[in-house]
Amino acid sequence: MKECLFCKKNVQDIDFRETAVLRNFISGLGKIRARKYTGVCSTHQRKVARAIKRGRHLGLFSTTSK
């Protein structure tokens, strides 16, 4: 099992404006990747999902790919 990227770096809050980091958690079709593939713990997975959804709402991420 992978170690959580955010736990390793001791990150508490995940900001929706950090698009470069959050793009690693989005598939090519624009879906949020599962914990199984990202290796993030459940607490941070929920925070990542919430940040991606906020970014989509504000137009930082597209909801679908071309």
Write out pLDDT tens, residues 17-51.
999 999 999 998 889 999 999 999 999 999 999 99
Question: How far is it, in rounded angstroms, from Cα 66 to Cα 61?
Answer: 12
Residue 62 is predicted with a pLDDT of 79
- Is 66 contained in some domain? no
Burial of 21 (0-12, 13-18, 19+ CB in 10 A): middle
Residue 36 is predicted with a pLDDT of 92
Question: How far is it, in rounded angstroms, from Cα 23 to Cα 30?
Answer: 9
Residue 65 is predicted with a pLDDT of 64
Domain extent, residue 9, equals 5-58
Q: By three-state DSSP, how is residue 32 classified?
A: strand
- Is 63 contained in some domain? no
Residue 66 is predicted with a pLDDT of 62
- Is 37 contained in some domain? yes
- Is 30 contained in some domain? yes
Domain count, the chain: 1
